[in-house]
Amino acid sequence: MAKVKGAIVVDTETCKGCEVCIPVCEEKVISMSTEVNRKGYHYAYMSNPDVCTGCTNCAIVCPDRAITVYRIKI
Amino acid sequence: MEVIDIIKPENQVFSKTCLMTDATLSYCPGCGHGTAHNLVMEVIDELGIVEDTIGVAPVGCSVLAYDFMNVDITQAAHGRAPALATAISRTWPNKYIFTYQGDGDLAAIGTAETIHACNRGENIVIIFVNNGIYGMTGGQMAPTTLPGMRTSTSPHGREIETMGSPLKITELIANLPGTYYVTRQSVHTHKHVRKAKKAIKNAFNNTRLKKGLSFIEIVSNCNSGWKMNPNESNNWMEENMFPYFPLGDIKVKGKLKQKS
């Protein structure tokens, strides 16, 4: 089976901490940070980077498009 | 392999479209408006029609759409976006005209303009974001508010006897001869986002082929107005909004879809 590995980069200043990206991630990669950004929102971050497949589900439901997705075949 | 090895420009598979400006969206966290804005802009980008696209912004939460969408865009008086879009499309028949409206704009004050523009079959795209409440003004009851739903002007829930039933404007306009493509979508999960994007692309293609009016309703959440967190409001929407506003195509290629 061809394996893919992905990674996401969250723009922490754009993220409003709505958590919509968390239930759509089937690999449970994303968690909310305990720190806050300049606006006071807890931002999303990649808490479990090993299992990310770069499926872009989180990025396409993000209303503020704070997530950029990268993917590589290995 | 380390994350740092994956994060390289050549491996990038998704990022924000260049047709959205860098301005921070004025919407509440988790609001479907942001996703809907981005989908429209992504479709315009993918079809390569940005030079020929003119948008019409409404009054409501999305009144500042002209600050966020990096296309030629104007703004209409409350509810009059389809009338303005008619004028633009008749002046420039080869341009792609779209309106982006909420339920207070399209289904309340602008009902007349909406119905007549649809009846005339203008060659425009109407994007209608329905969240069942007046979001910007503080969560008052809208024509699309569900029976029993609490809002600031119906604190005991909407009563059908005194306040009437929710207006299914999309079914209403699907019955008019002028409309070519009428559909109802949602943007709260990845599956629905992909379907909604396909529908929006279809609508702009209809404009290109001069087929007539395409109408896309997007059932959305209003977590501030509904007084829930974004994920709760999405679940509430699935349980309560979708039975009343079922998703799917209502009219395709000018023909009403038969309910099975």
Which residue do the tokens 């007539």 mark?
Answer: B212
Give the C-alpha separation, B242 to B132, whole Å: 12
The first and second tokens of residue B103, run together, are: 């339920």
Confidence check: pLDDT of B86 > 80: yes
For B229, the closest chain A residue by CA position comes to A18
Determine the residue among A27, A47, A61 to mutate to test chain B binding: the one whose Cβ has the most chain B Cβ atoms within 10 Å: A61
Q: 3-state DSSP call for residue A56?
A: coil
Task: Work out the mean pLDDT of chain A and round it to a whole number.
Answer: 92
pLDDT in tens, B4-17: 888 999 999 999 99
Inter-chain contact B231–A63, Cβ cutoff 8 Å?
A: no
Residue B181 CA: distances (Å) to CA of A33, B47, B154, B170: 43, 18, 34, 11
B27-255 is classed in which CATH architecture? 3-Layer(aba) Sandwich (3.40)
pLDDT of the residue at B4: 86
What's the one-letter identity of residue B190?
H
Q: Are B151 and B135 in contact (CB under 8 A)?
A: no
* Residue B99: strand pairing partners: B56, B126
Give the C-alpha separation, A13 to A42, whole Å: 10
Inter-chain contact B231–A23, Cβ cutoff 8 Å?
A: yes
pLDDT of the residue at B17: 93
Q: Where are the domains of chain A?
A: 4-73
Give the C-alpha separation, A34 to B52, whole Å: 45
Query: CB contact, 8 Å: A60 with chain B?
Result: yes
Inter-chain contact B13–A69, Cβ cutoff 8 Å?
A: yes
Q: What pTM did the predictor assign?
A: 0.94
The closest CB to that of B6, out of A6, A56, A65, belongs to A6
pLDDT of the residue at B257: 85
Inter-chain contact A71–B11, Cβ cutoff 8 Å?
A: yes
pLDDT in tens, B208-252: 999 999 999 999 999 999 999 999 999 999 999 999 999 999 999
Q: What is the CA radius of gyration of chain B?
A: 18
Residue B171 CA: distances (Å) to CA of B162, B199, B217: 23, 17, 10
Picking from B68, B27, B38, the residue whose alpha carbon sits closest to that of residue B223 is B27
Give the C-alpha separation, B157 to B148, whole Å: 4
The closest CB to that of A63, out of B11, B12, B32, belongs to B32
The closest CB to that of B7, out of A9, A19, A61, belongs to A9
Q: What is the CA radius of gyration of chain A?
A: 12
Task: Work out the mean pLDDT of chain B and round it to a whole number.
Answer: 93
Inter-chain contact A23–B34, Cβ cutoff 8 Å?
A: no
Cα A20 → chain centroid: 10
A4-73 is classed in which CATH architecture? 2-Layer Sandwich (3.30)
Query: CB contact, 8 Å: B190 with chain A?
Result: yes
Inter-chain contact A70–B25, Cβ cutoff 8 Å?
A: no
Residue B12 CA: distances (Å) to CA of A22, B40, B73, B120: 21, 21, 30, 44
Share of residues in chain B with pLDDT > 90 (%):
92
At B114, is the pLDDT very low, low, confident or very high (cuts 50, 70, 90)? very high
Smallest Cα distance from B60 to chain A, Å: 18
Confidence check: pLDDT of B150 > 60: yes
Inter-chain contact B34–A5, Cβ cutoff 8 Å?
A: no
Give the C-alpha separation, B108 to B117, whole Å: 15
Give the C-alpha separation, B108 to B30, whole Å: 25
Inter-chain contact A18–B30, Cβ cutoff 8 Å?
A: yes
Smallest Cα distance from A33 to chain B, Å: 16
Contacts by residues B20-24 (CB-CB < 8 Å, ≥ 24 positions apart) = B20/A65, B20/B68, B20/B69, B20/B70, B21/B67, B21/B68, B21/B69, B21/B70, B23/B67, B23/B68, B24/A14, B24/A64
At A47, is the pLDDT very low, low, confident or very high (cuts 50, 70, 90)? very high
pLDDT of the residue at A1: 59
